[in-house]
Chains A and B, each alone.
Chain A
Amino acid sequence: MLLLETTLAGAGIGFFCAASFWAVSSLVRQHPPERSELGVSLLLALGCAPLLAVLVLHGANAGRVPLFNTFDALTVYAVFLTLAALCLLTRRRTQGIFAILAPYVTLLLLAGFPTVGVTTGPVPHQVPGTVLLLHLLAAFTSYALFSLASVLALAYLIQDRNFKHRRFGVIFERLPALETLDHLMFRVVGYAFVLLTISLALGVYLVHESGNGPGWIADPKVVATLVTWALYAMLVHMRARAGRHGTRLALITLAGLAFVLFSMVGVHLIAHSVHGFVQIGATPQ
């Protein structure tokens, strides 16, 4: 089983590597944009399929929601992020952002690859399965969408530099208009913020149901997530209520990625959490 999971994960990451190479090289080699767009999208979609298969196998094998190991967590995050970007592509010509997104996702998948098939500690038995699933889905979708907003923010800042320094090359051509990036950033952050809020609410319910008591508020993961939530609440306020736009908002959105990554994975590397069944480096099956 481990061999099959490793092979499928390797194949998925292979497609992501190829997509990254194509997306980046298209900025240098000047392929026709339509061909690059189709090729990169296809490779990313093909990469998602074996990765999802690994999750299904791992879940079936462990008999639970497959979100309790670093590779699984990063894979769910990467696949959600990729699918969100592909959905965006069907609505707007945003293919230029794949030159940023594909390498980023690939690096995360490569980082998680050593823990393919690793089993971690048990889920506390008091936690209701369906609510836990919804809690996790909402959390990971919000992480993916916040990260997509950060990718759009980085694209915004690159495009801003292009405008300021009069660099009107291939990157300038491929990236969307500044205003498009600004609109998309805010909309994506809006959806992500709602989902993170739902995830937090479900988390509170789960804590109550599992009988962990009031100590949950001091849990490092909860604290990190609340800080992330507060940051994005400020961002949403700045845009929706104060009507702010432009590079400063893009910088804050980009900085938000660090908070997302820290609350998703980083916190487990430095502190013990009630979410401790997400562990790094447990024994392979």
Chain B
Amino acid sequence: MKTNLSVLGINFRTAPVELRERASFTAANVPEVLDRLGTEFPGGEAVLLSTCNRTELYTAGIDVEAKKTALIRMLLKGAAPHEFTDAEQHFYAKKDSIVAEHLLAVVAGLDSMVVGETEILGQVKQAYQLAEQAQISGKTLAPLFQNAFRIAKRVHTETDLCRGRVSVSSIAVELAEKLFEDLGNKAVMIVGAGETAELALKSLTERGARDVLVLNRSLERASALAERYGGRAIPYDLLDDYLPRADIVISSTSAPHCVIREDSVRKAMTVRRGLPLLLIDIAVPRDIETAAGALENVYLYDIDDLQRVADENLAKRRDAVDGAWKIVREGAAEVTSVYEGADLREMMRKLDEFARDASDTVLQRMLAKEKMAALPEDTREEVRAIAQKVVAKLLAEPREGLKRAAKNGRWDEYARVVSDLFRFNEQPGADPDDPAQKKGPS
């Protein structure tokens, strides 16, 4: 594959968070970097992907190996000169067919910190859109990314790689979504102000929950949390009064005893007339009396329940990894064949051009000689036709070999040999018959 397709980047495996922070870009400042790339590498294509776990620059038509330092300097904005040397070792650069497999694995969630997470697909789509808007992604990167999105969808639908949530807060949200049709008209009550509870609240509000009630021993802390999520702080001693209004209760206090008793829940359910109530208890020791979970239409989960679900989901995802990799490899082969198809056509064109030039040059010299000059024009034409047939016959086998190589995944190897043999990579204007320019054993 001779597209100069490359990826240069760092991720959570290769670089510490301090370095990843340096090379982190928001959607607002990605266009600026892409503009600089467009100016410094005219004709090149680029997509800049930046998430909290990775920053990767996908390019085409830019010699990443030669320009690695300059590109890293561009990615590590504001770093001191001595930092570049240290940073360079954390960057990886991949090229040609490996890039397709790498991108496909990234988009499918196989290369994520939490295997199978789907957020990355949206992030890559956004990165590609930004590159398109900046008009720096063209016909070379388009098939790579479009196929990556297609293959990611296949992985999501055909394997269990992305099924089930794997964090306690996201499982709490998943349960809420499976219990309630629309979180938009549901009241969420947060008891205590723990970190996991806040994460769950954040996810719930992102999914539309609007009515947020926060109860904490410290009304000040409750107010601060409520303010962040557009909710209301409620005095802690009014818990029983407000319990019937809540559809989802997430409790994470550090109290050494139960703060929500079965009696309180029973009374709340009488008022609720059978409307379901989801109780998530992520405190240790537990905040909600276990007996409350036995009440009709009450669904109580403690931290162990949620962790068990997380572990089961993670195990299912791990089981699905092999299947997902199989799809990714198939997809990468498809993407590679798209490029190789284009490369093959280009190589054939060059071979034809070489054959035509070779026969024309030799015939021109031969026919210019005195004893050939007397040949009638129709004979000359016959000689030209014979010469072209001979050259075509000589090149027939190499052409077939190249086609076979493209099909068998050995394109890179064959293409390099043919390019070297016929000197396709040399600068135009070099005279193949000039002995001074000839290389190799004489």
- Chain A residues with a Cβ under 8 A of chain B: 30, 32, 34, 160, 163-164, 166, 168, 172-173, 177-180, 183, 242-249
Distance (whole angstroms) from the CB of A85 to the closest CB of chain B: 18
Q: Is the CB–CB distance between A247 and B297 below 8 Å? A: yes
Q: Of A166, A178, A179, which is within 8 A of B305 by CB? A: A166
Give Cα A160–Cα B276 distance, bound, in whole angstroms: 10
Q: Which stretch, B10-18, B143-151, B172-180, B365-373, touches the partner chain A?
A: B172-180
Q: Is the CB–CB distance between B273 and A248 below 8 Å? A: no
Give Cα A137–Cα B296 distance, bound, in whole angstroms: 38
B52 on interface, CB distance cutoff 8 Å: no
Distance (whole angstroms) from the CB of B100 to the closest CB of chain A: 24
Q: Which residue of A lies closest to B277 (CB)?
A: A246
- Please give, as numbers and ranges, the residues of chain B lying within 8 Å of A32 by CB-CB distance: 157-158
Q: Of A30, A163, A173, A242, which is within 8 A of B179 by CB? A: A163
Q: Is the CB–CB distance between B158 and A166 below 8 Å? A: no
Distance (whole angstroms) from the CB of A133 to the closest CB of chain B: 37
Q: Which residue of B lies closest to A30 (CB)?
A: B160
Q: Is the CB–CB distance between A246 and B297 below 8 Å? A: yes
Distance (whole angstroms) from the CB of B246 to the closest CB of chain A: 15
Give Cα A163–Cα B309 distance, bound, in whole angstroms: 12
Q: Which residue of B lies closest to A168 (CB)?
A: B309
Give Cα A178–Cα B182 distance, bound, in whole angstroms: 11
Q: Is the CB–CB distance between A177 and B275 below 8 Å? A: no
Distance (whole angstroms) from the CB of B48 to the closest CB of chain A: 33
Within 8 A of A (CB), among B157-200: 157-158, 160, 163-164, 175, 177-182
Q: Of B160, B178, B273, which is within 8 A of A177 by CB? A: B178
Distance (whole angstroms) from the CB of A167 to the closest CB of chain B: 11
Q: Is the CB–CB distance between B296 and A248 below 8 Å? A: yes
Give Cα A183–Cα B301 distance, bound, in whole angstroms: 24
Sampled A-B contacts (14; CB under 8 Å): A32-B158, A34-B157, A160-B297, A166-B308, A177-B179, A178-B276, A179-B179, A179-B180, A179-B181, A244-B273, A245-B273, A245-B297, A246-B274, A246-B276
- Please give, as numbers and ranges, the residues of chain A lying within 8 Å of B181 by CB-CB distance: 177, 179-180, 183
Give Cα A2–Cα B79 distance, bound, in whole angstroms: 88
Q: Is the CB–CB distance between B299 and A245 below 8 Å? A: no
Q: Is the CB–CB distance between B296 and A247 below 8 Å? A: yes
- Please give, as numbers and ranges, the residues of chain B lying within 8 Å of A34 by CB-CB distance: 157
Give Cα A176–Cα B64 distance, bound, in whole angstroms: 50
Indicate the member of B275, B293, B301, B308 with the most A CB atoms within 10 Å: B275
Give Cα A100–Cα B297 distance, bound, in whole angstroms: 22
